[in-house]
Amino acid sequence: MLKNRAEAIINTENLAHNFKKIRAMAGGSRVISVVKADAYGHGAAECAHVIERCGGDMFAVASADEGAALRESGIAGDILVLGISTAEEQKRLHEFDLIQSVASREYADELGALGYPVRIHIKIDTGMSRLGFYCHGEEDTAAAYEAVRDALEKNKNLKCEGVFTHFACSDEPYDSMTRRQFGAFSAFCGLCEKGGLGLGMRHCCNSAAIVNFPEMHLDAVRAGILLYGLSPNPGVTDAAGLLPCMTLKANVVQLSHIRKGDTVSYGAAFVSDCDMTVATLSVGYADGLLRALSGKADVVIRGKKAKMVGKICMDMCMADVSDIDCEVGDEAVIFGDGQSADRLAELAGTINYEILCSVRNRVSRRYI
């Protein structure tokens, strides 16, 4: 009898190890642990508690709802909301003592109308063109400075504790774009200092920049994918001694012996060129196994690789186990435990972030 259709096993010792490694890389800079999107699929509350026990004292989330959930789980450290909070979510900023990112004069005024103190960090757009006060070059610093200064002077309830930007290309170690962005951010911060506008802690380095641009660490760094043992830079995790935290497993639920010429899965796109044994596995695209991996990826059963055959279905997929002496109930490793999520990302034409974040809530988590 199967206990789980599919299971994500989260190694908390590896997570603690990674946080300590990142803290050492950061030197004297504070580490902001990014646990948005349910800690990239790993479980935000569980991961945040592991990090807090290791000395982590600041976290970043995408929404006020994510921040409130962390507080309700017992997290005591600072929590920075990176995204825009809706009118309904704004009530939670004060209730749960969250820090809200402010990316425009209009949003500053919206929060200013709340009538109660709101802790904030100012977001500066230095080239990502996503969120932030516009400052794509040093020529923009004066206008950005005036916009931020006026917003804070008008809205006295906004308590600014930090200022930050986000790099667009820091996964390239010699990237000139990152240096231009850092130059614009530094010029803005310098003008604020000259004008007596204290904005608090400065941070701009994401996971890639923590590794590639140590001179830009400033007061704090934001560690995301590195925490979970993966990296936007090929080979970085090995060099830094980081360890993957998630292993995704499913089970063999049926073995079918098919003949040469038989087809497998939807569209009859796979046609067997010989007699073979096909294992049906209890994981599909509704669990987060990307359909783009159909016919491309391997799974590992009893220590041997088995090629996926046919199209991945909503709840199941199939693999050729003709050369594996396996049984119904055997585990199949989708990624982790020596089976690289980076490789799946490459085969699917995506990034490792998506592989992790795609693992759905209906996949049970087990923490070891």
3-class state of residue 53 by DSSP: helix
Active site residue 367: no
DSSP code for 294: T
- Asked whether residue 173 carries a pLDDT value surpassing 90, the answer given is no
pLDDT, position 234: 64
Cβ atoms < 10 Å from Cβ of 113? 10
Contact between 252 and 330 (Cβ < 8 Å): yes
Name the pTM for this structure.
Answer: 0.93
Structure tokens at 144: 């950005």
> Which residues, at least 6 apart from 131, have a Cβ–Cβ distance to it below 8 Å?
83, 84, 101, 103, 104, 123, 125
Active site residue 353: no
- Which tens digit of pLDDT belongs to each residue from 286-308? 999 999 999 999 999 999 999 99
Tokens 């959930």 belong to residue: 69
pLDDT, position 353: 94
Cβ atoms < 10 Å from Cβ of 173? 13
CA distance 165 to 148: 14
Tokens 């642990």 belong to residue: 33
pLDDT, position 172: 79
> CB-hemisphere CA count at 13 Å for 1?
1
The radius of gyration of the chain from alpha carbons, rounded to an integer in Å, stands at 24
Active-site option among 116, 159, 260, 266 = 266
The proportion of the chain whose per-residue pLDDT surpasses 70, expressed as a percent, equals 98
**Domains of the chain: residue spans and CATH:** 12-229 (3.20.20.10), 246-367 (2.40.37.10)
Task: Give residue 338's pLDDT band: very low, low, confident or very high (50, 70, 90).
Answer: confident
- Which tens digit of pLDDT belongs to each residue from 211-263? 999 999 999 999 999 999 998 776 566 667 899 999 999 999 999 999 999 99
- Which tens digit of pLDDT belongs to each residue from 16-49? 999 999 999 999 999 999 999 999 999 999 999 9
How would you label 201-215 residue by residue, b for 16+ Cβ within 10 Å and e otherwise? Answer: bbbbbbbbbbbbbee
Please provide residue 248's backbone torsions phi and psi, each rounded to the nearest 5 degrees.
-105, 125
CA distance 188 to 173: 23
Active-site option among 36, 123, 249, 311 = 36
